[in-house]
Amino acid sequence: MRARLYYCGVHDDASYISVHAAVATSPDEPFATTEVELRAPGPGELLVKVVATGICHTDVMTKVKGLCEFPIVLGHEGVGVVEEVGEAVTEFAEGDHVIMTYDYCGDCAQCNRGKPSYCVDHGSLNFAGTRPDGERTHRSAGSPTSDGIVEEITGSFFQQSSFATYALSHESNTIKVDKDLPLATLAPLGCGVQTGAGTVMNTLEVGSGSSIAIFGCGCVGLSAVMAATIAGAETVVAIDLNPSRLDMAKELGATHVFNPSDFDGGDAFLAALGEVSSGGLNYAIDTTGNPTVLRQAFDSCGPLGVTAMIAPGVPGTEVTIEMMGLLPGKSLRGVVQGDSESKTFIPKLIELWQDGVFPFDKLITMFNSIDSVEDAVVAMNAGDVIKPVVVIDRPRGETP
């Protein structure tokens, strides 16, 4: 293994390897690819050679809203090949093909209930920028400097920071997949796809003959559309301002599509939703993080209707709900990662995809090389692509 680490670019300090990463240095500056140093795997960790990584709005929001410490290596929809395993790793071996997702402690009350996305340490494990023990995993190339100064870089985003050629993950947030599967295609399963599909299948448990509206038709929303179709929902309403995304929603199973800009105000829009749902929807999902849209989603539900909030906006964002509106037994709840237990749910989604009923690959536009992260972000923000996936280094023999 020593020779292999040297191939990766090991320096005199054997506890670090050299990698290339798309680093964010401020909310406004574009991602810039540069050489950084990454810790070698410790106990319970995996060193993963990143094949591809999806771009998620959570990456973008974390950067542009400054919800992190700069400079930082983001990325949390990584897929790759295990290069090295740390001590005490039992589930994985070198050469395994893997998907990386969110991390959790595995010991708290929520984890023990099978609800790891609500782990009490979810915030610190996925957003604090350090290993669970508080140690940093990344630093600038050439650290320490001649003055003995270590120039640290924030990493461990979702315990992976996959906007890089190599990433560190844990057994808990890593899923082994068949080596015959196209790894780059699977990248969005780690967050966006499992969040949308999981909200329908796990959180709301949408049933046959029910009605549901999905507000926002990005990767998360369109994954929810596909899942609602699989679940047998009779009325599946997709809502977006982008006509091309509404066309995609229809292709993926939406029975009705609405562009709110086509209506003369919010009341007319809600009236139209009421007409297609016989007076009120059973379920609504807001993927936008916009308080006005979330209120519309809640108001569109009928008695005992449930509204799921996937995108909470930035800290401090508030939404107002009329108290009388709760009396028909309606409810509003937040959702993290679609209530997904990833080690079982992601393989389920792969099976549905292989069966031809969950074509999430239709959402993907591929971008080549680590240098294209900024281009992918720009294209996503402009609405030109639904789910950008940056291909960093395909496994030998794999084609797009």
* Cβ pair 368, 227 in contact under 8 A: no
At 104 the pLDDT is 98
Write the CA distances from 202 to 64, 88, 277, 291, integer angstroms: 31, 32, 22, 24
The token duo for 228 is 């609602």
Task: Report the alpha-carbon distance of residue 89 to residue 46 in Å, rounded.
Answer: 8
Domain-located, residue 78: yes
* Domain stop point among 317, 336, 355: 336
pLDDT tens figures, 344-398: 999 999 999 999 999 999 999 999 999 999 999 999 999 999 999 999 986 655 6
400 domain-assigned: no
Record the tokens describing residue 187, joined without a space.
Answer: 């990248």
Range of the domain at 6: 2-180+369-391
In a domain, 315, yes or no: yes
For residues 172 and 240, membership in a common domain is answered with: no
Q: How far is CA 373 from the centre of its chain?
A: 15
Under-70 pLDDT residues of the chain? 1-14, 394-400
Q: Which of 83, 209, 72, 190 is nearest to 139 (CA)?
A: 72
179-190 per-position pLDDT tens digit: 999 999 999 999
Do 96 and 209 lie in one domain? The reply is no
Q: Are residues 149 and 223 in the same domain?
A: no
pLDDT recorded at residue 313: 84
89-113: pLDDT as tens digits = 999 999 999 999 999 999 999 999 9
The pLDDT value recorded for residue 14 is 55
pLDDT at 356: 98
Helix ranges, 15-54 (H): none
Q: In terms of domains, do 25 and 145 share one?
A: yes
Claim to verify: residue 259 and residue 310 sit in the same structural domain: yes
| Rounded Cα–Cα distance for residues 211 and 40 (Å) | 50
Among 321, 336, 351, the domain-final residue is 336
Distance separating alpha carbons of residues 281 and 212, to the nearest angstrom:
6
Of 336, 358, 382, the position where a domain reaches its end is 336
> How far, in Å, CA of 190 to CA of 51, rounded?
14
Q: Does a structural domain hold residue 63?
A: yes
Task: Identify the pLDDT of residue 396.
Answer: 57
In eight-state DSSP terms, residue 346 is: H
What is the per-residue pLDDT for 235?
Answer: 98
Do 103 and 248 have their domain in common?
no
With 0-12 / 13-18 / 19 or more C-beta atoms within 10 angstroms meaning exposed / middle / buried, residue 309 is buried
> What's the confidence (pLDDT) of residue 144?
87
* Alpha-carbon span 228 to 254, nearest angstrom: 9
Tell me what pLDDT residue 333 has.
96
Whether residues 303 and 260 share a domain: the answer is yes
Q: DSSP alpha helices (H): ranges in 49-201?
A: 57-64, 109-112, 122-127, 183-186, 192-198
Has this prediction a pTM greater than 0.75? yes
Question: Do residues 97 and 32 both lie within one domain?
Answer: yes
Contact (CB, 8 A) for 236 and 212:
yes
Q: Domain check: are 34 and 111 in the same one?
A: yes
Both 163 and 205 in a single domain?
A: no
CATH number of the domain where residue 206 is located: 3.40.50.720
What CATH code is carried by the domain that includes residue 38? 3.90.180.10
> Is the same domain home to 207 and 255?
yes
Residues 48 and 73 in one domain: yes
Work out how many domains the chain is built from and give that number.
2
